[in-house]
């Protein structure tokens, strides 16, 4: 039986608890949250012990690993503490908000002899796994260019409803780091290690400290002596609105071709 401790007691930690409950041979035994009420609630649902003190939580036994679902800027600090207690660490993306803190966590996990992992669940999607197998087997030839867009939108309420989202200290890089990172990871996993990276972000709409739209990263990779280029973009509000309008107009044309009336015209 794998005994799991959850660091964080918010929405994503509930997802982690639900996932653990579906794995035979695994169970959540302890929950640590900054807000004790939240920790108590999640622990009660999981049948686990609740803590609001990290050191007391890390001393709980039996516990084999922790899953970190706290604000991004705390991942390395909490992961290092867990590694020093001999616990394996699985953290939500991003690994942290700076490469220096990420490197310290990687080094500490290696020194402690524990396994460190970062959650990138998109790798598990059946179509992505099939694409990975086709690329690795050479069935698609030599890929030379990849482009990806993340057409999501986060309203101002998404940031206002959280004390850490949109802050430089705990959110770090905004939409590109927090949402677009999944797609960056897929580019690297599918096409190989990084040779050079260029990126930029903008803050166009919301009054927050980090970029929330128009983020763009260009990645040049090197594998088997061949260069490959990849792009990932997180469109700004104008691009997102334009994509919505294009989809709406296409649907209207399809309805017109079928002779259907739209819900709006039916109401009129």
- pLDDT of res. 241: 42
Number of domains in the chain: 2
pLDDT of residue 144: 85
Same domain, 93 and 147: no
Q: Quick check: 94 and 172 in contact, CB under 8 A?
A: yes
Are 107 and 132 contained in the same domain?
A: no
Domain assignment of residue 198, given as a range: 127-235
* Number of residues assigned to the chain: 268
Point out the least confidently predicted range of 43-57, 116-130, 205-219: 205-219
- For the cut 80, the answer to whether the pLDDT of residue 156 exceeds it is no
90 and 173 co-located in one domain: no
Pick the last residue of a domain from 88, 119, 150. 119
Residues 151 and 222 in one domain: yes
Is the residue at 260 inside a domain? Answer: no
For the ranges 42-51, 99-108, 205-214, 220-229, which has the lowest average pLDDT?
220-229
Q: Is 137 a domain residue?
A: yes
State the Cα–Cα distance between residues 207 and 211, nearest whole angstrom.
10
Q: Are residues 77 and 114 in the same domain?
A: yes
- Examine the domain organization and report whether 54 and 141 are in the same domain: no
What pTM was estimated for this model as a whole? Answer: 0.75
Among 99, 119, 139, the domain-final residue is 119
Last residue of a domain, one of 94, 119, 144: 119
The set of residues, in sequence order, having a beta carbon less than 8 Å from that of 11 and lying 6+ positions away, is none
**CA dist list (Å): 20 to 16, 32, 63, 126:** 6, 16, 14, 20
CATH number of the domain that 180 lies in?
Answer: 3.30.360.10
Q: How confident is the model at residue 175 (pLDDT cuts 50, 70, 90)?
A: confident
pLDDT, mean of residues 131-139 = 96
Give the model's confidence band at 189: pLDDT under 50 very low, under 70 low, under 90 confident, else very high.
very high
Q: Give the C-alpha separation, 122 to 183, whole Å.
A: 8
For the beta carbon of residue 41, count every other beta carbon within 10 angstroms: 16
Residue 250 lies in a domain: no
Are both 153 and 101 inside the same structural domain? no
């Amino acid at each position: 039986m794998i005994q799991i401790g959850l660091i964080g007691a918010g929405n994503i930690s509930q997802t982690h608890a639900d996932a653990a409950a579906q794995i035979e041979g695994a169970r959540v035994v302890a929950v640590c949250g900054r807000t004790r009420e939240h920790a108590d609630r999640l622990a009660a649902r999981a049948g686990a012990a609740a803590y609001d003190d990290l050191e007391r939580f890390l001393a709980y036994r039996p516990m084999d690993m922790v899953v970190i679902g706290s604000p991004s800027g705390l991942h390395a600090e909490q992961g290092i503490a867990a590694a020093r207690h001999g616990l394996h660490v699985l953290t939500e993306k991003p690994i942290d908000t700076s490469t220096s803190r990420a490197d310290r966590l990687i080094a500490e996990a290696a020194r402690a002899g524990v396994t460190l992992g970062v959650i990138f669940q998109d790798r598990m999607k059946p179509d992505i796994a099939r694409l990975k197998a086709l690329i690795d087997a050479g069935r698609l030839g030599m890929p030379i260019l990849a482009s990806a867009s993340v057409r999501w939108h986060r309203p101002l309420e998404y940031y206002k409803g959280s004390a850490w989202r949109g802050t430089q200290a705990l959110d770090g890089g905004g939409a590109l780091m927090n949402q677009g990172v999944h797609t960056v990871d897929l580019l690297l996993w599918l096409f190989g290690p990084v040779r050079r990276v260029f990126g930029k972000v903008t803050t166009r709409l919301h009054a927050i400290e980090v970029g929330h739209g128009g983020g763009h990263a260009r990645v040049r990779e090197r594998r088997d002596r061949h260069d490959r280029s990849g792009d990932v973009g997180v469109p700004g509000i104008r691009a997102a609105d334009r994509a919505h309008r294009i989809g709406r107009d296409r649907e209207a044309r399809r309805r017109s071709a079928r002779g259907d009336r739209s819900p709006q015209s039916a109401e009129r």
